[in-house]
Amino acid sequence: MFIVENYGSAVLFCVVTMLCWGSWANTQKLADKTCRFELFYWDYIIGMFVFSLLLAFTLGSNGDVGRSFSDDINQADNSNLLSAFVGGVIFNLANILLVAALNLAGMAVAFPIGIGIALILGVLLNYMLSPVGDLSLLILGVVLVMVAILFTAAAYRKATVGAKVSNKGIALSIVSGLLMGSFYPFVANGISPNFSMPEAGMLTPYSAFVVMVVGALISNFLFNTLLMKKPFSGNAVSYSDYFKGSLKSHLAGMLGGVIWALGTSFNIIASGKAGFAISYGLGQGATLIAAIWGVLIWKEFKGAPRLTNLLIAFMFLFYVLGLVVIILSK
């Protein structure tokens, strides 16, 4: 199987994670405007699943190191398979709740609460699992990124002055952040620390990722079906509505899933040299990428007060500083 050979390559893989995690949501804008998120999300999950299998039978099955995907799955202990599966279930619920929170509370509230909690909790839990890197620098990097997220929130709040804040949206953001910060350690717990010579019974990054995505896919029949019947906002939708969707919308959703899966798989692969805490922390710089899309492409701050531009500038500055410090922590 393919593995990264050095820390520099691992950092580049984490940059790909940032780009993917911060960009997949743009595919919603490619779908029809009438396409509900609950229906879009089915195609998103399908895209994730298909990509995970393609990756497993290509990069995960060729090369001179490690185990092939098929061999790895067949020898894995049930406890490690279950751990990765549970990680996928937790991620799926966290992701659904985060998007619901964004729809209810807006970017200014949902992202600082949800992603902020996920960043802090995720880095700390992953460091406890695999203490790689200088903890003091890692914490400093996380704090700088948190400051950047707060500047992002302030910019959105300034641009949407007078907007009402949803208490339900705040509650969903908190729950989503706790879940989003917790899923990665479950996946990492089943992965062998040595990718080139994986331990018996443990998983390689490729098999762990496939099992995680299977967990997300199966749990989606519960979580998303409930959300379709009892949405947090809007009217209920049915499975028949899904099949009424256009090919354009279905392909857009699958593309979103592929983009997210590419970023996540690269993040797990990078953890072999970067450590789980550093790779996860760098990946959460995705909020910076999402903000770049919003500012430069979608012109979300067009016509906003002048102070907004200053807040955005500080957001970029603190994000870059935080990411550099996280990189330097190893």
What does the alpha-carbon distance between residue 164 and residue 170 come to, in Å, rounded to a whole number? 12
If you average pLDDT over every residue of the chain, what do you get? Answer: 91
Q: Report helix, strand or coil for 182.
A: coil
Spans of all domains in the chain: 7-328
CB 152 within 8 A of CB 111: yes
Residue 267 burial class via C-beta count within 10 angstroms: exposed 0-12, middle 13-18, buried 19 and up = buried
CB 43 within 8 A of CB 220: no
Q: Report helix, strand or coil for 191.
A: strand
% of the chain at pLDDT higher than 70 = 98
DSSP structure string for 48-80 = HHHHHHHHHHTTTT-SSSS--HHHHHHH--HHH
Radius of gyration of the chain (CA): 19
Q: Among 69, 58, 80, 93, which residue's Cα sits nearest to residue 176?
A: 93
- For tokens 């016509």, name the residue: 303
- Whether this model's pTM surpasses 0.85: yes
pLDDT digits (tens, 9 = 90+) for 47-101: 999 999 999 999 999 988 999 999 999 999 999 999 999 999 999 999 999 888 8
Instruction: Give the CA angle between residues 170, 108, 22 to the nearest 5°.
Output: 105
pLDDT of 297: 78
